[in-house]
C-alpha cells in the first residue's frame, strides 16, 4: 500500500498505529469526532474536509453507520480495518487468525505459547495485547503472526486471507454495533471468506452454528469434546486426540491439563491442532498444555480467604461467557454482574444457573434489567449497587466458607471502566486489600 491517499478515521490506539505504519509511503488525512484528539498526533496531518481518498482505515469500535462513513461508502471508498492493512503491508506469509464470541483470547494466547515452545518465531497481537500493525511490520516471511480478531475488525476486511483461521464459537453478541445476529455472524465468517484449498479452517463443531458451516466446508478441521470421524481434534472419555491427514495421534489425558472447564478443553484442542498442523511436535504440545495456566481476567483464581474462593472473570463480557464461568464452579456462587448495555438477553443465563447462585450483586448501566430478568428466572436474591466496588464489598461481607465470589459481569466494561482489564485489576485489588 504505497502512494495512496488514505483517511485515518478515529484517532485512538488503532488510528495512531495506522498513522505510524502508513505515513512514510502515503498521503494521510485524519478525522475524529473529537477534534481534540488531533493533538495526540506527533505529525502535522490535515484534518479531513471532504477530499477524495483511496481508502479509509477505520478504528474497529466505530459503527459503519456513524459520522461520515455512510457518505464515504456511497462514494464506493473502501473502508478497511487495521488487520486488513497489516495483511497488505506485511512480508509475513503465516497469518493465524482466531475469532469467536468466547474463547478467542485463551486460544490465541495458548497457540502463541505452543508455537514459541515448539521452536517457531511467533508474534501475538490484534485484539489481545499489542496492536497488529507494529507486529506486522516486524514479522518476517516465515514467522508466525497470531492474531485475535474481533467482529469489528473483520467486518471491514476485503482481501485478508489467513493461512489458518480458527472459529471458537458464534453466539449472540455486540448487537448494539452489528444491529442483527445475522450481521454479527457474517462478520465472523469473513475470517475464512478468502481462504483457498491449501489454507486451514478449524471449527468448534460443539457450536451448532459452526457445525452447520463445517458440513459445507469440505476442507475444515473440526474440534469437539466428543469423538468425531473427521480430521481434527477431540476428547474421547478422558483422552485427547489429534487427527490429521488420516493419522490419529494420542495427545494427553484431560487430567494432565491445568486449565479447568470443558470450554478450555475445546480452546486447548483448537490451539493444539493448529500447532500440530504447523509442524510443532506432539511432545512439545503436551508439555506446554501441562504447564499453561491461562490468561488474566478469564476465570483467574485470585485467592482463598476465610474459606471463600475468589475468581476474576472480567473478560466475561456477554451472557454466554458468564454461562461458561458459572458452569466451571461446583459450589454456591456470589456473582457480580453488570456494566455497559450491549442489548444482550440475560434471562436464559439465569434460568440455567439460578440454583447455583447464592446471591447476585448487580451494578452499573445494566443493573435494573439484569435484576428484573434474574428474578423472573428464579434467582432467589438480588442486591443492587451503583459501582462494582460496592457490589464486591457486599459480596465479601456475605460469602461464607465453602462458597465462591465470582466477577463475571456478562457485560462490557465501558460504562465505568476503559476496558475489562482495568475492571478485573480493580476487583483483584479490592479483594486483596480487604484481606491484606
* Residue 103 annotated as part of some ligand binding site: yes
* Residue 102 annotated as part of some ligand binding site: yes
* Residue 315 annotated as part of some ligand binding site: no
What's this model's pTM, rounded to 2 decimal places? Answer: 0.75
The answer to whether 127 is a known catalytic residue is yes
The active-site residue, picked from 120, 174, 188, 342, is: 174
Per-residue pLDDT of the chain (436 residues; tens, 9 = 90+): 789 999 999 998 889 999 999 999 999 999 998 888 887 787 789 999 999 999 999 998 898 988 999 999 999 999 999 999 999 999 999 999 999 988 888 899 999 999 999 999 999 998 776 789 999 989 999 999 999 998 889 999 999 999 999 999 887 555 555 557 788 888 889 999 999 999 999 999 999 989 988 888 877 999 999 999 889 999 999 999 999 998 999 999 999 998 877 888 999 999 999 999 999 999 999 999 999 987 788 888 888 999 999 999 998 999 988 998 998 888 999 999 999 988 889 999 999 999 999 999 999 999 999 999 999 999 999 999 999 999 999 999 999 999 999 999 999 999 999 999 999 999 999 999 998 7
pLDDT score for 172: 58
The answer to whether 174 is a known catalytic residue is yes
pLDDT score for 177: 56
* Residue 235 annotated as part of some ligand binding site: no
What cell was used for 393?
Answer: 464489598
pLDDT score for 173: 54
* CATH number assigned to the domain covering 300-435: 3.90.190.20
Cell 476486511 maps to which residue?
157
The active-site residue, picked from 104, 177, 297, 315, is: 104
pLDDT score for 45: 93
pLDDT score for 381: 97
Ranges of each domain in the chain: 5-80, 83-291, 300-435
* Residue 105 annotated as part of some ligand binding site: yes
* Residue 94 annotated as part of some ligand binding site: no
- pLDDT, tens digit, for every residue of 45-87? 999 999 999 999 999 889 898 899 999 999 999 999 999 999 9
Query: What superfamily would CATH give domain 83-291?
Result: Mur-like, catalytic domain (3.40.1190.10)
The yes/no answer on whether domain 5-80 falls in CATH 3.40.50.720 is: yes
**CA distance linking residue 425 with residue 431, whole number of Å:** 10
* Residue 100 annotated as part of some ligand binding site: yes
The active-site residue, picked from 113, 120, 127, 342, is: 127
Amino acid at each position: 500500500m504505497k502512494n495512496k491517499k488514505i483517511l485515518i478515521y478515529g484517532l485512538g490506539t488503532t488510528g495512531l498505529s495506522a498513522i505510524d505504519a502508513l505515513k512514510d509511503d502515503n498521503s494521510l488525512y485524519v478525522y475524529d469526532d473529537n477534534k481534540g484528539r488531533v493533538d495526540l498526533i506527533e505529525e502535522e496531518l490535515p484534518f479531513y474536509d471532504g477530499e477524495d481518498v483511496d481508502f479509509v482505515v477505520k478504528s474497529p469500535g466505530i459503527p459503519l453507520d456513524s459520522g461520515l462513513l455512510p457518505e464515504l461508502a456511497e462514494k464506493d471508498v473502501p473502508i478497511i480495518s487495521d488487520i486488513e492493512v497489516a495483511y497488505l503491508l506485511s512480508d509475513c506469509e503465516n497469518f493465524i487468525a482466531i475469532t469467536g464470541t468466547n474463547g478467542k483470547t485463551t486460544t490465541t494466547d495458548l497457540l502463541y505459547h505452543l508455537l514459541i515452545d515448539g521452536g517457531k518465531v511467533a508474534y501475538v497481537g490484534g485484539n489481545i495485547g499489542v496492536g497488529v500493525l507494529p507486529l506486522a511490520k516486524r514479522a518476517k516471511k516465515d514467522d508466525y503472526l497470531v492474531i485475535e480478531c474481533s467482529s469489528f475488525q473483520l467486518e471491514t476486511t476485503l482481501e485478508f486471507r489467513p493461512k489458518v483461521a480458527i472459529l471458537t464459537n458464534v453466539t449472540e453478541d455486540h448487537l448494539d454495533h452489528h444491529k442483527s445476529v445475522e450481521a454479527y455472524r457474517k462478520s465472523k465468517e469473513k475470517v475464512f471468506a478468502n481462504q483457498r484449498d491449501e489454507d486451514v479452517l478449524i471449527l468448534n463443531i460443539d457450536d451448532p452454528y459452526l457445525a452447520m458451516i463445517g458440513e459445507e466446508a469440505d476442507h475444515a478441521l473440526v474440534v469437539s469434546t466428543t469423538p468425531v470421524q473427521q480430521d481434527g481434534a477431540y476428547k474421547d472419555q478422558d483422552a485427547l486426540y489429534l487427527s490429521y491427514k488420516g493419522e490419529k495421534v494420542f495427545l494427553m489425558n484431560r487430567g494432565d491439563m491445568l486449565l479447568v472447564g470443558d470450554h478450555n478443553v475445546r480452546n486447548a484442542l483448537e490451539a493444539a491442532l493448529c500447532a500440530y498442523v504447523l509442524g510443532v511436535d506432539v511432545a512439545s504440545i503436551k508439555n506446554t498444555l501441562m504447564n499453561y495456566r491461562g490468561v488474566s481476567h478469564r476465570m483467574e483464581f485470585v485467592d482463598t480467604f476465610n474459606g471463600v474462593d475468589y475468581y476474576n472473570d472480567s473478560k466475561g463480557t456477554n451472557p454466554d461467557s458468564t454461562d461458561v464461568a458459572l458452569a466451571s464452579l461446583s459450589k454456591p456462587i456470589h456473582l457480580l454482574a453488570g456494566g455497559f448495555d450491549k442489548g444482550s438477553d440475560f434471562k436464559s443465563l439465569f434460568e440455567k444457573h439460578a440454583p447455583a447462585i447464592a446471591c447476585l450483586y448487580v451494578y452499573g448501566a445494566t443493573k435494573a434489567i439484569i435484576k428484573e430478568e434474574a428474578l423472573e428466572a428464579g434467582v432467589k436474591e438480588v442486591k443492587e449497587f451503583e459501582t462494582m466496588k460496592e457490589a464486591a464489598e457486599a459480596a465479601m461481607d456475605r460469602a461464607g466458607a465453602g462458597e465462591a465470589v465470582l466477577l463475571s459481569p456478562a457485560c462490557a466494561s465501558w460504562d465505568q471502566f476503559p476496558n475489562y482489564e482495568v475492571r478485573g485489576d480493580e476487583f483483584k485489588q479490592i479483594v486483596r486489600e480487604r484481606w491484606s
